[in-house]
Structure 1
Amino acid sequence: MSQNPSPNIIFILADDLGWADLGVYGQTDFATPHLDALAAQGVRFTQAYSNSAVCSATRFALITGRYQYHLRGGLEEPLVRTAHKYGLPPEHPTLPSLLRDAGYETALIGKWHLGSLPTFGPLKSGYQHFFGNYGGAIDYFTHKPGVGEAVPRDLYEGEVPVERVGYYTQLLANEASSWIGQRSADKPFFLSLHFTAPHWPWVGPEDEAVSRGLTDLFHYDGGNLQTYGRMVQSLDAAVGQVLQALEQQGLSENTIVVFSSDNGGERFAKTWPFTGQKTELLEGGIRVPTLLRWPARLRPQVSEQVTISMDWLPTLLAAAGVAPDPAYPPDGENILPVLEGQAPVHPRQLYWRYKAQRQRAVRDGDWKYLKINDNEFLFDVALDTLERANLKHQHPEVIERLRAQWLAWSAQFHPITDEVMTHGVTPDIQADRYAPERATRERI
């Protein structure tokens, strides 16, 4: 099909959003009308995964189209205390750099979290405009950074610190809406809109007093379901504002809009019918709500195709008529033929590893192999979404095959060494570090 004119692309990424935190995925405690409408107008995925159960590792995979373990920074999971040393190498081709070189105008508005200045940054990796935070967490009102940042606030325009007043989710929506209206009309654009919502601290748009009273950004003793709901609703409204700006410019028809999350939900998220959460390779830690709208080429549909974060580079490049860099072939897959009905839904082989509890996972067809410490599990995730029925004794040949596949796959990448195991652990992971073991004990 003709690629003339080239589509615009907006990739919207939420932070720690749970599988069922949108109405269209099962949320009943609060409404998400704008994202539900986006789902009705496009593709809603039922088997979409993140490349990791934590933030920066997934972002390495998303921007490169490859397993994050090709790069040393992708092992940190998450990239915190070593962000000055292990980031996204500026020489590595990326989704924005490949689109930029093909004539796209590129921007990142929101969270970067792929290495710190002066060595790393979005302007060094293909984005021509940047407004947002370099680190992993930012307070919603004071814009103070998270652990490991030596700056009074983590808010930048390009590589220059700036000050803004307001709730961060809304600031990002305003910036993105403005950028869409001011872009070069003679060029297609690629906008990465990476929100920090609904990542902690647990602060809603009316909670400025709470924000300014915080002494610990991790906010262990704060938050509740109602505050979390307001955070997600603010995210939903922000997405609606950006989509309205797109409509006002007359660009909706030939603009690809993708919405997803960097990993599964945190403590207040809804993940039913899955168990597990962020930092766990149970389905609740890696299955993410994912939507895609492109009226010019794709009919509204619900897709059962298994997909993962690193698929977006080859998929969006194909939509734009741009080839990947042959020296860095994607590990992800172009799923456009499936969505257009030119190819049937097909099984995938996907792999994960996570240093906490030395977790391993394989998704091969409907089979899932999971290892937590020394405990191994085999699930049919199509039938057993809760991952309760361990079938390893009924199908020993399957678990042996998947175990061998994982070992062969893992041997291709940087190993998770003792040095890696002692870096990048943040208090939120420590707080939840025993959750996989609790889940394990329930099944033994």
Structure 2
Amino acid sequence: MQRLLFILLIAVSFLTINGQKKKSPNVLIILSDDQGWGDVGFNGCTDIPTPNLDALAKDGVICSQGYASHPYCSPSRAGLLSGRYQHRFGHECNLPYEDAKADDGLPLDELMMSEVLKKHDFQTCAIGKWHLGDSINYWPNKRGFDDWFGFWGGGLSYWGEPKKGRGPMGGVLRDGKPVPMSEITYLTDDFSDAAVEYIDEYSKNDKPFFMYLAYNAPHSPIHATKQYTDMVSHIEDGYRAAYAAMVVGMDVGVGKVIQKLKEEGEYENTIIFYYSDNGAATNGARSEPYRGHKGMLFEGGIRVPFSVTWKGNIKGGQVYDKAVSALDIFPTVLAATDVKCPKNKELDGVNLLPYFNGEVNKAPHNTLFWRYSDGAGYAVLKGKYKMVMSGFKNIEFFLFDIEKDPYEHTNLASAKPEILKELEKEYKDWNRGTVPGLWTDPHAANISKEVEKRESFIRKATAGERKK
């Protein structure tokens, strides 16, 4: 009898201990598309209301110097999900617009965050814009995601119509199968609702989940519902107002997702990253106060809205002012979930948790790098100095003191040639560990056109000047 009681006590103790054991935290990455640094309230935006994003950021850390790894869409996403500079495996251009080959995409031998987490028993889902390969073998369901609701290309009508000539498979898909147009309302709302539904499903079991919620908002085309345009009726510039409505729609959706996490008791057990894949496009968005826009290596093209929230594990109400990168998300996720990095996987980022929690006071990065293909330009940030080589401006070199001149108004290249030379060497050393792009795109040419358009305005403005 005593032996039986002893066995029962041991069993009860075992069950109690295991019942108290907390499952691994969930991971939620919320990615906006072409959103400017200045287009969110937590960075000081006053005309676009983003109360849900602001509340999320207030619960965590605002990274005021948070960077994307590339100034436009597809390469930036490749860097995020691989945790490595996309230049190491040739994904430094957007997928070709019309003639992508079957093997154009994030290389299949490049291990992705989703694949690592799935191997560790996470439920995984991708929602929204993919843009990492047009062919079926490159789609999310083949890259570590159990569930997928979204589209594979770089852009789509928010009303869900496939691009001309692509047929139903070029529209919104659920696990690789076309979603009837009758089930689509407005993509931003549909993606938010899908996220809520997946959370409802996943929270019914004990497995943690990884959700990659990649909105295409506020990327062009500029489409919005009256519900959201009414919420920005105070903005008199119609171009800005239409864009702002898209941001507002995304903010409302994020609010629904966070509310669902709270209802299911998952909010405090979810590490949440929010950032934009690159800086503001020229569609009513704003990267102000920073110079430049999407496609440029000035701050406006790569410095983005960026926050990290893990309530109870990361102290809230912080503004972290040292440079961090989207490349840091992968190693931070591994640290938060206690998943070991595979031995054959070399990450380029760092675990940000000890920096956010005050355990490490130095900057997370000694240097950060950016590069276009085809010699169009590159940039290096080392300490307080940033070098930009711009092929758009006649192979001109720029050097900025980012601490004193974060808006990049004063070019120090001629005043500090020794610093410029040092950063050039840093770039050349880093560049040896990269490969040429596997395909090309017209993005560099498009930026050149934008630069020429600017110069044409200047020429027109000064045409009547009389010389003294």
Gaps of 5+ in 1: 209-221
SS class of match (1:99): helix
Work out the CA distance in 2 between the residues paired with 1:357 and 1:414.
Answer: 13
State the partner residue of 2:269. 254
Kindly state the Cα deviation for residue 410 of structure 1 after the two structures are TM-superposed: 1.4
Work out the CA distance in 1 between the residues paired with 2:352 and 2:21.
Answer: 16
Change (3 A) 1:297 1:162: same
Aligned with 2:159 (options 141, 146, 153)? 141
Matched, 1:400 2:421: yes
Change (3 A) 1:198 1:344: same
SS class of match (1:119): helix
State the partner residue of 2:6. none
Change (3 A) 1:276 1:206: same
State the partner residue of 1:229. 244
Residue by residue over 1:52-92, the C-alpha shift from the partner in whole angstroms, topping out at 9 and shown as x without a partner, is: 001000111111100001223x1323553426321123343
Residue by residue over 1:299-325, the C-alpha shift from the partner in whole angstroms, topping out at 9 and shown as x without a partner, is: 111111311111111111111001112
Kindly state the Cα deviation for residue 433 of structure 1 after the two structures are TM-superposed: 2.8
Change (3 A) 1:193 1:348: same
Larger radius of gyration: 2
Kindly state the Cα deviation for residue 265 of structure 1 after the two structures are TM-superposed: 0.7
State the partner residue of 2:385. 367
State the partner residue of 1:181. 200
Aligned with 1:388 (options 384, 398, 409)? 409
Change (3 A) 1:437 1:397: farther
State the partner residue of 1:378. 399
Is 82-91 or 4-13 further displaced after alignment?
Answer: 82-91
State the partner residue of 1:215. none
Work out the CA distance in 2 between the residues paired with 1:93 and 1:412.
Answer: 18
Q: Which amino acid aligns with 2:299?
A: E
Kindly state the Cα deviation for residue 356 of structure 1 after the two structures are TM-superposed: 7.1
Kindly state the Cα deviation for residue 114 of structure 1 after the two structures are TM-superposed: 0.5
Q: Which amino acid aligns with 2:241?
A: Q
Residue by residue over 1:390-415, the C-alpha shift from the partner in whole angstroms, topping out at 9 and shown as x without a partner, is: 11122111100101111221122112
Work out the CA distance in 2 between the residues paired with 1:399 and 1:284.
Answer: 21
TM-score (structure 1 length as normaliser): 0.89
Work out the CA distance in 2 between the residues paired with 1:142 and 1:235.
Answer: 16
1:288-327 aligned at under 5 Å gives the runs: 288-300=304-316, 301-327=318-344
Kindly state the Cα deviation for residue 142 of structure 1 after the two structures are TM-superposed: 3.2
Aligned with 1:157 (options 155, 174, 181)? 174
Work out the CA distance in 1 between the residues paired with 2:285 and 2:224.
Answer: 15
Work out the CA distance in 2 between the residues paired with 1:281 and 1:437.
Answer: 17
SS class of match (2:194): helix
Kindly state the Cα deviation for residue 440 of structure 1 after the two structures are TM-superposed: 9.6
Q: Which amino acid aligns with 2:315?
A: R
Work out the CA distance in 1 between the residues paired with 2:419 and 2:218.
Answer: 38
State the partner residue of 2:431. 410
Change (3 A) 1:4 1:405: same
User: Are the counterparts in 1 of residues 152 and 170 from structure 2 also a CA contact under 8 Å?
Assistant: no
State the partner residue of 1:50. 68
Q: Which amino acid aligns with 1:352?
A: W
User: Are the counterparts in 2 of residues 93 and 325 from structure 1 also a CA contact under 8 Å?
Assistant: no
Work out the CA distance in 2 between the residues paired with 1:246 and 1:315.
Answer: 21
Work out the CA distance in 2 between the residues paired with 1:377 and 1:143.
Answer: 43
User: Are the counterparts in 2 of residues 82 and 424 from structure 1 also a CA contact under 8 Å?
Assistant: no
Kindly state the Cα deviation for residue 5 of structure 1 after the two structures are TM-superposed: 2.6
Residue by residue over 1:222-267, the C-alpha shift from the partner in whole angstroms, topping out at 9 and shown as x without a partner, is: 9711101111100100100111111111111111111101000111
1:7-406 aligned at under 5 Å gives the runs: 7-72=25-90, 74-80=91-97, 81-82=99-100, 84-145=102-163, 149=166, 151=168, 153-163=170-180, 164-183=183-202, 184-206=204-226, 224-267=239-282, 268-300=284-316, 301-346=318-363, 347-355=365-373, 358-373=376-391, 374-406=395-427
Kindly state the Cα deviation for residue 150 of structure 1 after the two structures are TM-superposed: 5.8
Is 54-63 or 319-328 further displaced after alignment?
Answer: 319-328
Kindly state the Cα deviation for residue 293 of structure 1 after the two structures are TM-superposed: 0.9
Kindly state the Cα deviation for residue 153 of structure 1 after the two structures are TM-superposed: 4.1
- The size of the alignment, in residue pairs, is 420
Work out the CA distance in 2 between the residues paired with 1:437 and 1:407.
Answer: 29
User: Are the counterparts in 2 of residues 362 and 402 from structure 1 also a CA contact under 8 Å?
Assistant: yes
Q: Percent identity?
A: 33
User: Are the counterparts in 2 of residues 46 and 304 from structure 1 also a CA contact under 8 Å?
Assistant: yes
Q: Which has the higher helix share?
A: 2
Work out the CA distance in 1 between the residues paired with 2:21 and 2:82.
Answer: 22
User: Are the counterparts in 1 of residues 156 and 162 from structure 2 also a CA contact under 8 Å?
Assistant: yes
RMSD between aligned alpha carbons? 2.4
User: Are the counterparts in 2 of residues 368 and 381 from structure 1 also a CA contact under 8 Å?
Assistant: yes
Residue by residue over 1:273-305, the C-alpha shift from the partner in whole angstroms, topping out at 9 and shown as x without a partner, is: 101111110100000101111012111111113
SS class of match (2:198): helix
Work out the CA distance in 2 between the residues paired with 1:76 and 1:83.
Answer: 14
User: Are the counterparts in 2 of residues 12 and 257 from structure 1 also a CA contact under 8 Å?
Assistant: yes
Work out the CA distance in 2 between the residues paired with 1:134 and 1:71.
Answer: 20
Q: Which amino acid aligns with 1:386?
A: Y
SS class of match (1:398): helix
Kindly state the Cα deviation for residue 179 of structure 1 after the two structures are TM-superposed: 0.7
Gaps of 5+ in 2: 1-19, 229-236, 459-468
Q: Which amino acid aligns with 2:199?
A: I
Residue by residue over 1:180-208, the C-alpha shift from the partner in whole angstroms, topping out at 9 and shown as x without a partner, is: 00114210111000000000001112399
TM-score (structure 2 length as normaliser): 0.85
Kindly state the Cα deviation for residue 432 of structure 1 after the two structures are TM-superposed: 4.0
Work out the CA distance in 1 between the residues paired with 2:51 and 2:270.
Answer: 20
Work out the CA distance in 2 between the residues paired with 1:237 and 1:157.
Answer: 23
